[in-house]
A and B are shown apart, each in its own frame.
Chain A
Amino acid sequence: MSSTLRRRKPDPNPTPNPNPEEDGLDVEDIKKPKKPTIKKNYSCIDNCCWFIGCVCSIWWLLLFLYNAMPASFPQFVTEAISGPYPDPPGVKCLKEGLKVKHPVVFVPGIVTGGLELWEGHQCMDGLFRKRLWGGTFGEVYKRPSCWVQHMSLDNKTGMDPPGIRVRPVTGLVAADYFAPGYFVWAVLIANLARVGYEEKNMYMAAYDWRLGFQNTEVRDQTLSRIKSNIELMVATNGGNKAVIIPHSMGVPYFLHFMKWVEAPAPMGGGGGPDWCAKHIKAVMNIGGPFLGVPKAVAGLFSAEAKDIATARAVAPGVLDSDLFQIQTLQNLMRMSRTWDSTMSMIPKGGDTIWGGLDWSPEEGYAPSKRKQGKNDTCTQNESGGGVCEATQASYGRMVSFGRDVAEAPSSEIERIEFRGAVKGNSVANNTCRDVWTEYHDMGFGGIKAVAEYKVYTAGEVVELLEFVAPKMMERGSAHFSYGIAEDLDDPKYEHFKYWSNPLETKLPNAPDMEIYSLYGVGIPTERAYIYKLRPAAECYIPFQIDTSAKDKNEDGCLKDGVYTVDGDETVPALSAGYMCAKGWRGKTRFNPSGIKTYVREYDHNPPSNFLEGRGTQSGAHVDIMGNYQLIEDVIRVAAGAKGEELGGDQVHTGIFEWSEKIKLKL
């Protein structure tokens, strides 16, 4: 230490030290002048050290102050700025005297559940029972290719690749936070806890969201696990039936569960025909993609959906660049194409629901206009007139090649049949083969054929996907179906592949059960895409969203090659609301026992200031889990309220009008 001090002393008398070998062993030496050469050598490092030291000390000081700060301080500041905070819904309900009544089951959606490693290859050493998905995603950056390898499933079976076992995290921790600070269920859990809920009457039905729904039972017995846990909770909570809260893909998953549990073993759970009636009070679907998500199409087609995997949002720059020579997008596509579950989100119901070449249920309606005027349609709105001309023609055309095609009247479009087109032999390029996207099998001929068909409606999109990714769709079609049932009593509908499609199954026989559809509205949501061909290059995905296609008008429905409608940013309101607004309303063939359904929409209000975080009135797909109004509704139902006591339907969009336009036999 003494020598270091000496080194830093300013040197008033720069005479060289006569005794160079006498090197700082004496205390007196401190006073002595030093050789300037030494000082020079060290001064830069010295400065650096000094600087780092300063930064560290300040950092620690701030950290210390932060830790010493009372926990209520941020709230105090917020209240000082924006007036008193509203009570969190849990506290509010507690004050009203609401108490624990019905046990609650959470069913998380796609990507929000954590996955952890149980067995892996050499490159994953030391990560046993550590999260690969969820949490900090530290491994994505540390060993990306290893991570992709472990997150992928076998592309033949859709199950574990040999030697790799990645399993869902269990318990409430599975999906309370997706990443540090990014809540999913945590706010809802915390508010339920305020009225007295705890681990024994809350259950997180965590499942491996990469698998086909039936495969979660085959591999992990997840459905059996959910069944016995619901039975346990109902039994130990004095016979009070459970309230189920599925979110996002959890909604079709739970539909699947309800069919599974009543179906006889071995395909089903053998719970008997009145299992749901006995054990379920209400199903409160949050942002449910009942009829699929257009985003899933883009995701499967060109790996470009804005967030089918949140991974892209987490690190957009990394994914689009070729920085590490690992073809991020292709790798990602290969990975997500091994996940059967993404295929559960392909739009269901075909043209009947989503609209054909010339019509769509939502046309004549622009989401961004609603709040400014009271006008429900754009035609009444002067500034938006041109926008909706385009939207009218295009929503039904889920994928179109070129903007002109998207807007042209259907009679003018020349379509060349792509089905049966010969997939030309491309130059065998083995460097691309290992990236399994199936595009290299198509060759230029196939790609051209796809582009020349010009326009694809919802029904044709499925065929398109079958054409570009035959292996994947073949695997997926064993687990999912996208049609509309002609005759629901047909014995073929006993197969599990139909169970997650609300248009091909009947609801269970449970007249006392209630089904809610809770979702956010007021955010532009992807609905149809304009594609272009990518300049030919062997190793690239040949199709790309044409981001140059946009409306002149700022408020237009077409932006960056994507037509948007009202929704919660991921799921269009049509998909989330239609079943509860019409398909299941009253006694229909899809709902033979007349289960009561409710639609509750929550208008999106962006957070008013930074301190509110992700907002208490958000309507976005995941952020809605922190919406106070929604949480309050959930707590009330969990505490015993019925749909009417909540106020029945609460609608902001034209969901009922849209539903009227859909000609579906009920």
Chain B
Amino acid sequence: MGSVLRFRKLYFLEPNLRSNGSSETIKDNKPSLEGLKVDYKHVKSQRMEEHKNMKKKWRCLDSCCWFIGCVCTTWWLLLFMYHCLPANLAGLNGPEPPGVRLKNEGLAPLHPVVMVPGIVTGGLELWEGRPCSEGLFRKRLWGGSFTEIFKRPLCWMEHLSLDSETGLDPPGIRVRPVPGLVAADYFGPGYFVWAVLIENLAKIGYEGKNMFMAAYDWRLSFQNTEVRDQAFSRLKINIELMYITNGNKKVVVVPHSMGAIYFLHFMKWVEAPPPMGGGGGPEWCAKHIKAIMNIGATFLGVPKAVSGLLSAEGKDVAFIRAMAPGLLDSEILGLKTMERMMHVSRTWDSVISLLPKGGDAIWGDLDSSPEEVHECDLETKCYIQTSSKENSTKHEDTTPHFQLKHQTNYGRMISFGKTTSEQHSSELPVIAPKELMDVTKDLNSSEKCGDIWTEYGKISRKNIQRLADNKAYTAATLIDLLRFVAPKTMQRAEAHFSHGIATDLDDPKYSHYRYWSNPLETKLPNAPDMEIYSLYGVGIPTERSYVYKLSTSEKCNSIPFRIDSSAEGNGGQWGLRGGVYFVDGDDSVPVLSTGFMCAKGWKGKTRFNPSGSATYIREYQHKPPASLLEGRGLESGAHVDIMGNVALIEDILRVAAGASAEDIGGDQISSDILKMSEKVNIKL
């Protein structure tokens, strides 16, 4: 240190001594040969010049160094002061966490808790990879800090893709889910998923032995998690173990998002005989499960998944887009990020499980949808005519003018052009979905387009135009559309998932696993004492249907469809905005999807719920965080943030500590889910 300072002092004196250096330089430029002396002089002057140059450079460098030093010092000082700060500084403290309050009420752990994370929230780590991923053994590729995306994006995508034929690992690559509570407690640093719930459970006395995180590879189809990783067997054994070691107390299962249908699948699997099932016998669920507390469950699918599959545009079917939106849409790196993303996500079978289920019966047809009444209520200008029209026959002709203004056709999940979305069904060109399938594809279109496998390259422009001419797609015809634009993906995935409604549940075909995750094609297990809750947030506009346009881009392999973000409705929080029709929901899942089964489909003894398991709906009205200090909010209703909702945590804690649904207040409904459910006419 001393010497450095001395050097600097010397150097500050130098300008005065060196002022005569410039004259010598001029002399030296003459190309004379005066022997050593000149050489010497030359060298000397050069050195001087260097010195001068250096001096100038050093000045700048110096100031830079100085500046950096200043910043660093200040930063350290602040950091130090921050660390000296007592952890519980008055004022910074939020309200007492629910766990502490309930512990003071005397709650203690009773039932073991099983957590089932949803899509994308679980971490994935590398077990075997290509040379480009060297040094990442057992490091997280998904979850955590995501630094690898930026460091080696192509490598990262390659490793996260699955095999496009089998939907399993590509050869030479093994990416596996992170096990244990760490799998999904935090998604990124500071972005909690389960952490708040875990902490509150721990406050009343839970710990590793009576909490279990059923981490699974959320990219795979549900049955494949068993085939490849034995995830179901693992879950079964762990539930049995916790049941025994906790004094024969049944478990409380808390699935989130896609975890809800994953757990539906599990319940069918565990009671089905081997080899397809787990061979737990028909009483397994009744014996081991006290309650299932679905949080933001995607029972009947998510419209967002449609746009995700069609054009990789869902707002967060992959969180990536939210994390780095600019990066994805630009082509800075020549990466065609969107197309690659689409390629990656299309190899994930699980995405297909999120497509809307139940077709037109649930989601509405060209002219009506369950949510329309609801929308009228919200906007408080409901025309009696509208509802009377709904109740009367569909063939009744009403004026287009009237409809344009007041009716939103949520049932048309995809419409090409804003007008299409508003026209009456009779004005739409009718092309039967079957016809679509017959259109011959031209396969010679784009060999040169490289390896990006979005399947769009195989469809000719003409056919795309024909697709767009069909104008509007409902939940049922949508599946046909996807089958057309992504034949391989759908073919692969539909071996694992089904999206219909069963007419006869006793049909032996329903014992196949592809129906197990669809609540409309399975019966609940025979467990009359089991309780099923649906906990979800409401009060946030949620994507429900889309206005599309054809993309103008002619580049090979580009995605030909785009959400028409110029399509705007007539104001309001609900309705059309930026090419998307919004309804009430939790930002990802519409109320209809998450609430219908518990509100009607399973309520009482129905054919889907033959043993009459009790169902409850608990809605949490969304309130944005009041201040910055609250972080993501204590009363949030958003799809993931709801995991930090104090009221929801309290409900779960009470149930885990032994409360029944009546103790926590039974149903708690603030949306129009009951009215919507009334409008859905399916055989129960």
Show the binding face of A for B, using Cβ within 8 Å.
Answer: 1, 4-5, 8, 10, 12, 46-54, 56-57, 71-72, 118-119, 125-126, 128-129, 165, 167-168, 170-173, 176, 189-190, 193-194, 196, 198-200, 220-221, 224-225, 228-229, 231-232, 235-236
Contact = CB atoms under 8 A, between A and B. Distances in A.
B70 A49 contact: yes
Contacts of B245: 221, 224-225
B199 interface: yes
A225 to B, nearest CB: 7
B582 to A, nearest CB: 38
Interface stretch (B60-68, B523-531, B555-563): B60-68
Contact of A53 (B67, B177, B208, B234): B67
Given A193-B137, A224-B241, A12 B15 contact: yes
A173 to B, nearest CB: 7
Interface in B289-312: none
Given A4-B63, A51-B5, A10 B69 contact: no
A194 B198 CA distance: 34
Contacts of A173: 180, 182
Q: Mostly helix, strand, loop or mixed at chain B's interface?
A: helix
B179 interface: yes
Interface string B197-217: 011001101011100000000
B209 A220 contact: yes
A5 to B, nearest CB: 6
Given A125-B87, A165-B207, A119 B63 contact: no
B72 A52 contact: yes
Given A128-B202, A198-B127, A224-B245, A10 B12 contact: yes
A46 B66 CA distance: 7
13 contacts: A10-B12, A10-B15, A51-B65, A52-B68, A52-B73, A53-B67, A54-B4, A125-B88, A128-B202, A171-B180, A171-B182, A200-B229, A224-B244
B448 interface: no
Contact of B65 (A12, A53, A224): A53
Contact of A235 (B70, B209, B233, B238): B233
Interface in B77-97: 87-88
Contacts of B135: 71
Contacts of A231: 237
Q: Which 6 A-B pairs have the closest CB atoms?
A: A53-B69, A53-B65, A49-B69, A52-B69, A53-B68, A221-B245
Contacts of B205: 119
B514 interface: no
A56 B69 CA distance: 7
Interface in B216-275: 229-230, 233-234, 237-238, 240-241, 244-245
A196 B240 CA distance: 29
A126 B85 CA distance: 13
Given A52-B69, A193-B137, A128 B199 contact: yes
Given A171-B180, A224-B245, A8 B202 contact: no
Interface of B: 1, 4-5, 8, 12-13, 15-16, 62-70, 72-73, 87-88, 127-128, 134-135, 137-138, 174, 176-177, 179-182, 185, 198-199, 202-203, 205, 207-209, 229-230, 233-234, 237-238, 240-241, 244-245
B64 A53 contact: yes
A53 B66 contact: yes
A239 to B, nearest CB: 14
A70 B194 CA distance: 36
Contacts of B203: 119
Given A221-B245, A232-B237, A193 B127 contact: yes
A49 B73 contact: yes
A57 B134 contact: no
Contacts of B63: 4-5, 8
Contacts of B138: 172, 176, 189-190, 193
Nearest to B185: A129
Contacts of B202: 118-119, 128-129
Given A71-B134, A167-B207, A228-B237, A12 B16 contact: yes
Contacts of B64: 53, 57
A478 to B, nearest CB: 22
> Which among B15, B16, B208, B237 has the highest number of chain A CB atoms within 10 Å?
B208
A94 to B, nearest CB: 11
> Which among A52, A71, A172 has the highest number of chain B CB atoms within 10 Å?
A52
Nearest to A123: B87
Given A220-B208, A228-B240, A50 B233 contact: no
